[in-house]
Each structure stands twice: as C-alpha cells, then as structure tokens.
Amino acid sequence: MKEFFKALLASVLGTFIAGALACFLFFVLIIGLISAASNHEAPGVSVKAKTMLVIGNGMLINDTPQHGSPGLSILLESQKAPEVDLLRAIEAVKQAAKDKNIIGLLIAGETDAGLVQLNELRQAIKEFKKSKKPVIAWIENGSQQEYYLASVADKIYAHPAGEVEFKGLARYSPYIGESLKSLGVGVQVTKVGKYKSAVEPFLSDKMGESDREQTELLLGGAWKKILADVSESRKLSSVSLNRIANSGGVFTPDLALKIKLVDELCQRDQLVTKICSLGAAADDHGQSFRQISLTKYAGKVDFSSGDGKIAVIYAEGEIVDGWGDNYNVGGDRLARNLRNLRGDKSIKAVVLRINSPGGSAFASDIVAREVGLLKQSGIPVVVSMGDVAASGGYYIAARGNRIIANPATITGSIGVFGLHFNYQELAKKINLGTDGVKTSRYSDLFSSHRAATAEEMAIVQKMVDQVYEDFLNVVSEGRKIELTQVHEIAQGRVWLGVNAKEVGLVDKMGGLVDAIALAKELAKKPDAAIIQIPSLYSGRENILQKLLSDEENEDPVFVKAKHHDPALQILKAHLSFLNRVGNLNDPKGVYLRCPVEINVR
C-alpha cells in the first residue's frame, strides 16, 4: 500500500508539473504572437532553393489587407480563398526577382482582382522579367480575367482538353423598377446631374440613354486598354485581337494555339517536366515541382523600417454612414483613422488608396473634411485610385495634394441623388391598414407607409441641390478649378482615368507604387517606412485563428479549380446588387454613388 501511494503521488506530481509547463509554454507562445501582432510582423517564411513562385490558383487580391470577399459570397464558397493585399503582392514579386532561391514565376489559375489591380500586378511581373528569370503561364479553363494576367508571360501553355476565353467586356444590371411597381412598392427620386443614373434600376426596366452613352464610352476605353496590354505582350495587333474576340469569344486549345493566344499545348505532367527543366527542384513526393504561392511568399515582405513613416490608408468598398465593416468604408472609422494620423508626429505623408464607387453623402463629407485637415496640418496627401474612385469616392479624393489614377480607373461621377421607398400601393393590395397620429405638419415626412407629396419632394430636392453645390465647391477648392468649369465636367458623368486627367480631375497616370514614391518625394523621405491602415496583422484573433486552423501548408498548383456550380453563379451575379441596396444607409437618404462598374470576366 505504501508503494502504491508513492507511485500515485509521483504520478499526480508529474502530471501537475507537465500541465504547468505546458500552460507556461502556451502563455509564452501567446505573448509572442501578441507581440508580433503589435509590431505588424508577418510570420517567418522560408524558401528552399530552386523554388517556383506561383501566382493565381484561386488567389484573391484586394487593396486592403485582410479585406475578404463581401457579404454572402463567403457563404457561397466551399473554402476561403488565399488572400493578399495589392501592395504586398507587388513588393513580393519585386523581392522574388532578387531572391536566389526563386528560379522563376508561374501564372496558373484564377486571380480574383479588378482590372486596375491586375494591371498593376502585370506591371510588377514585367519588371520581374528584367531579372531574366522565366515567366510562364498555364491555362486549363481560362476566363478572360485569367488570360489577361497570363498574357504577360514569356510563354503560355494550355491544357489540350480545356478552353481559353477572350470575348470583350459587357455590363448588365437588374432593372427592378417595373417589378417594384407591380408589387406596389413606390420609389421616389431626387437627383442632380444628367448622367447620375445610379437610381435607374429602381425606376425602370431598362437602361437610360445617358447611362448607355457613358457606359459604352467607359467599356470601350477599358477594352482598348486590355487590347493594348495583351497586344504588347503577345506581339499581336489590337485590331487582330479585337477580331479574335468577335470571332468566337471562347476557343478550343487547338484554335487558341492557331490564332496565337497560347504558345503550346501540354498535359499537367508534361508541364511539370518543363518547369523542372527550367531549374525547379522536384517536390518532396517527386510528382510535381517545388513551389510557393504568392500569398505565402508575401509573408517575407517587410517595409516597417526606415526614416520616418509613410501611411497607406485604404478606402475600399461602398461608403456607408457609421462604423461599417470589413467589406465597406465606414465614414466614422475612416475619419477616425485619418484624424489619428494627423496627430502622429512620426507620419510624414499619407497615401489614400481609394477603390470605391461612393455611397453615403454624409459619410463622404465627414471623410473629406479629415482629408482637408490632414493636408492643412502640413502632411502631404497623395490619392491613389484603384478600379473605381467615383462619386463619393471622388468626393473624398478631391482635397488631396496630388491624385494619381490608372488609365482604366472609373472616376468623376460628380452628382447626387436621393432615394426613398414606400409601400402604400402594396398595402392596398394586401388590405394592410396603417393609421396613427402626428403633432406637426411634417412629423411623418418620408414615412414608408405613404408616398411623399410634391411639397415634401421639393424639400428633399433642395437638400440634394445643396449637397451637389457642396460637391462642386469641394472639387473646385481641392483641384483649383473654377466652379463653372467643375459644373461642366460634373453632371454625374463618369470618366476613365485617362480622360479624367485631360479635364483636370486627375494629376497623373500611375499605380499604388507610384503614389507611394510621390508621397516620399513630397515628404522628402526617400527611405521612409511604410505602414498600412488597416494593417495585415491587426489583432491577436487573426493570428490565433491562423495558428489553430487546419489549413494545409501548400496545395499543389493543380488542385484548386475554378468553381462552376450554376446555382452559385446565379446567386453571385446578383450579390453585388443586393449589397448595393443593403448599403443605402445615409441618414438623409442622399447619395454620391457611381452607377458603372467594369468586370473583366
């Protein structure tokens, strides 16, 4: 019995010590992770010799670090796509060119990004090619978006059983005006600007002529840019490429090879052999090649050291009143972040990266005020425009010291609209009664149970007119343009970046990297550190989630295929429209929202 108690005591004591040690080690680990988070440092990434850098494979690129896919799209995917922010992606490609362990670059599979983001990534890959390392592309069932990025490669391989898409651009939206009318839902609109057509989907069953006119010009300009980029890379004339797009849109691999969209057809195993012949080592299983994805390799990027700081702050998504969330621009949140930068003595310049079609007029004004105060405090503000920086997106840009846009950026849309819904006719159809009392003449102004009177609509029109005048004044003041001239280029008209420069809304053409370089120049700090707001590692939760996840270290390049479930495609096609309606939360019901977006797919 004595020996039994000794053994029991030893066992209990050993278990206690082991448990205490485990708790201590876990505590040390948590402290280390939190410390890494506070310093915005990515986990270490090691790269073995003879590794191929892979871009694509379902990768999602946003401007904002850890932005994610908006709304219901997260629920429509079987797994979260690997994600990287544009600046880190570009810098990673730049570092890979100098990395002796990276032997080349493979573009394979879909990269989910906007036209301007893809264009900026293409520019980075073009710079990478100066290292003389091979850049090849692999297409299985390639969308037009996929082909646009792949076309920058030295050589494009295609699977003989797949397809290649090159078909041009189109823009179609649901027009639910007649449907709402048949349901008995009333829609009342106030607006300023001949081209301010964002309200048309709620009023009609078809596109208005002014909107058709400007959309044709915008799509034509963006398509011209795509043709020029592909033409330069593939050594095919823009005329020939346009003829190809009009000849079929989707091509068998044999035909794609014949018309020189691709260079060679091969199976997956043959591609592996070709990549290994370029110098890549075989993988641990001997069945593929040694590879690292751009999303993982970007963990090596660190621009946190230097003389002073340049802050890159992001406004990506629709502008909404209040705090917002990860998928839109909360006016209060962005204004707070700008205000904090103004009080930080280590910040020498700010780059405001805008990728927004606008939204709430009130929230846009709150943000624009902070941009102006930041500039007045002596901190230079350089605006970098992404795929779209229009309406409210342009409102918050106008007071910057300099504005840089991509030739295909959608911008301008200087106009205003008010939008109010009521269910008066619907109530009649279903015999729904609404009754009550009020103390004053306008106590139930814009209540949803009835249509507004002509007098009430006039009140709102006056508010909309005032917001439009404020918009004109903000642009006139920020851009140093006469008010009458601003009015001529306003009217809600949308411009491509290249045309916006001609009319004075933009200073120069360029991307995010160019904006950062200009900010350093204005701050006279060529070696400044870069901080991103919001940052990649902004809190302990994200790091712990990453630590505790069961994600594989590295998927083979062929595993992830584009998802073609038709039911999900239908839902996704209408998701942006539903998100747009859900973001209409301006306290006055007045909006600065651009009607046009370009989808490369």
Q: What element of type H or E holds 350?
A: strand 347-356
* Cα within 13 Å of Cα(539), Cβ side: 5
User: What are the residues whose beta carbons fall under 8 Å from the beta carbon of 155, sequence distance 6 or more?
Assistant: 134, 136, 137, 263, 264
Cα separation, 303 vs 530, whole angstroms: 5
Cα separation, 385 vs 316, whole angstroms: 10
Three-state SS for 458-508 is: HHHHHHHHHHHHHHHHHHHHHHCCCHHHHHHHCCCCEEEHHHHHHCCCCCE
In the set 151, 288, 391, 413, the catalytic residue is: 391
Largest CA distance in the chain: 102
Antiparallel, parallel or unpaired: β 102-108 and 402-405: unpaired
Cα separation, 510 vs 17, whole angstroms: 61
Q: What element of type H or E holds 581?
A: helix 566-582
Residue 336, φ and ψ in degrees, nearest 5:
-60, -45
Cα separation, 398 vs 130, whole angstroms: 36
Active site residue 391: yes
In the set 133, 196, 300, 501, the catalytic residue is: 196
Antiparallel, parallel or unpaired: β 51-56 and 83-85: unpaired
Q: Which of 57, 98, 553 is nearest to 283 (CA)?
A: 553
Which residue do the tokens 């970098």 mark? Answer: 384
Q: What element of type H or E holds 53?
A: strand 51-56
Active site residue 196: yes
Which is it for the CA torsion 132, 117, 63, 386, positive or negative? positive
Tokens of 589: 């019901």
Amino acid at 30: I
How far is C-alpha 199 from the geometric centre of its chain's CA atoms? 23
Amino acid at 311: A
Neighbours of 45 (CB within 10 A): 13
At CB < 8 A and 24+ separation, what contacts does 429-435 make?
429/184
3-state secondary structure of 116: helix
User: What are the residues whose beta carbons fall under 8 Å from the beta carbon of 388, sequence distance 6 or more?
Assistant: 114, 355, 356, 357, 409, 410, 411, 594, 597
Cα separation, 60 vs 428, whole angstroms: 47
Cite the active site residues: 196, 391
